[in-house]
Amino acid sequence: MKTGVPEPHSHTAGGWGSLKEVGSALLQEQAPLKSGQVLLKQNKPQGFACVSCAWAKPAHPRPFEFCESGAKATAWELTGKRCDPAFFARYTVRELLDWSDFALEEQGRLTTPLRWDAASDRYVPVDWDSAFAEIGRELRALAPPGVVFYSSGRASLETSYMYQLLARLYGNNNLPDSSNMCHESTSVALPKTIGVPIGTVTLEDFEQTDCLFFFGQNVGTNSPRMLHQLQEARRRGVPIITFNPLHEPGLMHFVNPQSPLEMLSPGDTTISTQYLQLRAGGDIAAILGLCKALLAADDAALAAGQPRVLDTAFIDQHTHGLAPFVDAVRAASWSGIERESGLTRAALEQAAATYAAAERVIGVFGMGLTQHRNGVENIQMLTNLLLLRGNIGKPGAGICPVRGHSNVQGQRTVGITEKPELAPLDQLQAQYQFEPPRAKGLNTVETCEGVLDGSVRAFIGLGGNFVRAVPDTDRIEAAWSRLRLTVQVSTKLNRSHLVHGEVSYILPCLGRIEIDRQASGEQALSVEDSTGCMHGSRGMMAPASALLRSEPAIVAGIAQATLAPNPLVPWQAWVDDYSLVRDAIAQTYPEIFHDFNQRMWTPGGFRRPVAAAERKWKTPSGKAEFIVPDGLLADPDQAAPEGQVLRLFTLRSDGQFNTTLYNEDDRFRGISGGRRVLLVHPADLRRLGLEAGQRVDAVGVADDGVARRVRNLRLVAYDVPAGCVGGYYPECNPLLPLAHHARESKVPAAKSIAIRLEAATPGPAAGG
């Protein structure tokens, strides 16, 4: 590494460090001894689906089919610690508002339903029946357009189906999802280009691929089980080309902690064969550069009478819109491409040559593409690149969005969506004999707008930590207490419980790893992974408290207390036996879920049909579409970083799962001493007259009359591209303007926030 920047203290993901971390995570949580054994059932046929990420679960799993992140998530859920009524008797809500996110969740699992008591400013225990009764009364008194049913992407297919039905029977499509902050850009981009909202590849494609292009996804931390596929590909000599503003250790090297031989030998696997450290937001320019180099090579081949570089047979038969796209690529200048991407022409030409030499290429991506003003265009550019050589719908090739939450993709599949055109409303109408609402519902950004302008009156949260995860967190928190009703279905205490409405409930639920016993016996649940495969999941551990209810039971409880009875919607029978919910899902979505109960234990999962994977294009033209980008800029409304203005991209560390912090260190990136830091290039520090170690405030520069400031951040000199600054999510979320979101999908543009640095003003300690 250049410029005297500190080296991250480990360049290797996995390895002994991982094993040690798994052990200490279980210890830190004082998890019951059996949790160690339960890990052996993680992501196995007949076992349980990991509660961490959504990566595919193989039909022939390894002895340990879990990773460090997954083991930490398991330990987090199975913790021996309890956040019980005695805890809530000790502290007022006002007092708890000063606690850190880490300290709140560190209290352990919630054990009993709680209602906020205004007189004492405390959460007090309440019985389930009276909780449901009051929530039902409140919901019946409110007008449906003002009530929001949010879900975080963890809840099962069964729960999610019941939840969307609850919202629609109640009278709205207000079903925002964590996906609105995540891969919604994918769900908007891909239908227009290839006619499906999800990725096209499976694990078998990874076995057959001969090249991987990797954009803005931090595999070592966020989907580490995928490292096995990458390592196997590397063993076969498959090149991996990575585009990322940071040299992420997990994308550099990997030691397999499950391979004793490898642990003992110094030879670890190099993951990325070419690493392009592009500027945050430089992806459109970079991919355009790749396409430009490909076109040049194709021109040369044509002139020399050699085989074409473009897959013209595929393009002719399967695509539409090549000509205007080629014009746009030819019109783009190399100087513009170099400036916006931060990469050299030579580096891009080298990557393009690798691409052209491969017959089967997979394009992998994550939040580095989706969380931008041009989030949708970014993904369409990657699709353009793949289409040029027919890399969609053949073995070993395709597009691979790596989803976040373990069932976030599945929630969309069973109807959690604010977009009425994406829900099978006619089918629901016929199946349940009611008039489903047809008006568009609120997504996450629109929910926040409604909270700010007072039109949203009630918020039901099926998991998640909404007020911490959204943009403009300071503004949203300030407006949140004006809500009439807030209900959070949760496993652990978080800030979204403390910033509450006039009537507020915390409803504690079973986690997926816990045994769920109902009238007909022990129940199973199911989830969809990133590759469109559905898996059954069985709880294995005793529940954290006898008072917990399952998520399906809580959704049914709210529904029964709120809605007029409908004999066609048998809430109680569904809770008694979840296989009946699966029958209902199969009836609503026969193409995907026929024989659901029989197929859910298929090793490796059963896959939903993905038309594009068979080169069937469900687009208006019946072909895959090339889409012309709107220019090279990361943000059409915001100049490139210049002068005092820096471009902040927000990050996750290996010590967190979203707003859940397992610890404060970023072990892989070698950053310790707290998360209130900014990673800045040494040249920018010098240029701005600042020094590493110094404290500053980060200040938003959006020109909308709102003051945005995060105080007292410690500067760390780091190998980031000049002009770009790394900072942590959720600590930096007050800097992210609500209106700064992907243009078509409304995913908050958390990877390009314009900020300035100012002298520190008193605020939270830099470590805290």
Ligand X SMILES: Nc1nc2c(c(=O)[nH]1)N[C@H]1C(S)=C(S)[C@@H](COP(=O)(O)OP(=O)(O)OC[C@H]3O[C@@H](n4cnc5c(=O)[nH]c(N)nc54)[C@H](O)[C@@H]3O)O[C@H]1N2
What DSSP character marks residue 132?
H
Q: Does 465 bind ligand X (CB under 6 A)?
A: yes
The H-assigned helical ranges of 171-223 are 184-193, 203-208, 219-222
The full DSSP string for 427-461 is HHHHHHTS----S----HHHHHHHHHHT---EEEE
By C-beta, is 288 or 402 nearer to ligand X? 402
- The answer, yes or no, to whether the previous bond of 730 is cis (omega within 30 of 0) is yes
- Let me know if 490 is exposed, middle or buried by CB neighbors in 10 A (0-12, 13-18, 19+): buried
Among 129-137, 325-333, 401-409, 410-418, the segment contacting ligand X (CB under 6 A): 401-409
Q: Does 96 bind ligand X (CB under 6 A)?
A: no
Q: Does 173 bind ligand X (CB under 6 A)?
A: no
Among 206, 657, 668, 718, binds ligand X (CB under 6 A): 657
* Residue 489 near which of ligand X, Mo ion, none (CB within 5-8 Å, type-dependent): ligand X
Q: Residue with CB nearest Mo ion? A: 404
Supply 719's token pair.
């190998």
Task: Report the sign of the C-alpha dihedral through residues 371, 372, 373, 376, in that order.
Answer: negative
Among 33-41, 400-408, 452-460, 582-590, the segment contacting ligand X (CB under 6 A): 400-408
Among 3-11, 293-301, 507-515, 522-530, the segment contacting ligand X (CB under 6 A): 507-515
Supply 216's token pair.
């803005």
* Pairing relationship of beta strands 695-700 and 753-759 according to DSSP bridges: antiparallel
- Nearest distance in Å: CB 473, ligand X: 9
Selection from 367, 511, 596, 729 nearest residue 35 by Cα: 511
Q: Does 217 bind ligand X (CB under 6 A)?
A: yes
Give, in degrees to the nearest 5, the angle at Cα 463 between 511 and 544: 25
Q: Does 658 bind ligand X (CB under 6 A)?
A: yes
What DSSP character marks residue 567?
T
* Residue 246 near which of ligand X, Mo ion, none (CB within 5-8 Å, type-dependent): ligand X
Q: Mask 218-257, x = binds ligand X (CB under 6 A)?
A: x--xx--------------------xxxx-x---------
Residue type, 738: L
* Residue 550 near which of Mo ion, ligand X, none (CB within 5-8 Å, type-dependent): none
Q: Does 213 bind ligand X (CB under 6 A)?
A: no
Q: Does 275 bind ligand X (CB under 6 A)?
A: no
By C-beta, is 182 or 285 nearer to Mo ion? 182
Q: Does 463 bind ligand X (CB under 6 A)?
A: yes
By C-beta, is 182 or 329 nearer to Mo ion? 182
Q: Mask 29-58, x = binds Mo ion (CB under 5 A)?
A: ------------------------------
Among 43, 52, 272, 391, binds ligand X (CB under 6 A): 52
For the chain, counts of helices (H) and of strands (E): 33, 31
- Nearest distance in Å: CB 620, ligand X: 30
Q: Mask 299-338, x = binds ligand X (CB under 6 A)?
A: ----------------------------------------
Among 272, 319, 384, 656, binds ligand X (CB under 6 A): 656
- Nearest distance in Å: CB 187, ligand X: 13
Instruction: State the Cα–Cα distance between residues 571 and 555, nearest whole angstrom.
Output: 9
Q: Are 465 and 496 in contact (CB under 8 A)?
A: yes
- Nearest distance in Å: CB 609, ligand X: 25
Q: Could you say which residues in the range 395-414 bind Mo ion, by CB under 5 A?
A: 404
Selection from 593, 705, 602 nearest residue 58 by Cα: 602
Q: Could you say which residues in the range 402-431 bind ligand X, by CB under 6 A?
A: 402, 404-405
What DSSP character marks residue 40?
G
- Nearest distance in Å: CB 466, Mo ion: 13
- Nearest distance in Å: CB 343, ligand X: 11
The H-assigned helical ranges of 243-344 are 249-252, 260-264, 283-303, 312-318, 322-331, 334-341
Instruction: State the Cα–Cα distance between residues 211 and 241, nearest whole angstrom.
Output: 8
Among 44, 109, 154, 373, binds ligand X (CB under 6 A): 154
Q: Does 187 bind ligand X (CB under 6 A)?
A: no
Instruction: State the Cα–Cα distance between residues 658 and 664, nearest whole angstrom.
Output: 13
Instruction: State the Cα–Cα distance between residues 566 and 21, nearest whole angstrom.
Output: 50
| SS3 per-residue string spanning 661-693 | ECCCCECCCCECCCCCEEEECHHHHHHCCCCCC
- Nearest distance in Å: CB 404, Mo ion: 3
Name the region of 571 (left: φ>0; alpha: ψ -120 to 50; beta: rest): alpha
Instruction: Give me the residues that bind ligand X (CB under 6 A), please.
Output: 52-53, 69, 105, 152, 154, 178, 181-182, 215-218, 221-222, 243-246, 248, 278, 280-281, 283, 366-368, 371, 402, 404-405, 462-466, 469, 489-492, 494, 509, 511-512, 551, 649-652, 656-660, 729, 732-733, 736, 750-751
Instruction: Give me the residues that bind Mo ion (CB under 5 A), please.
Output: 182, 404
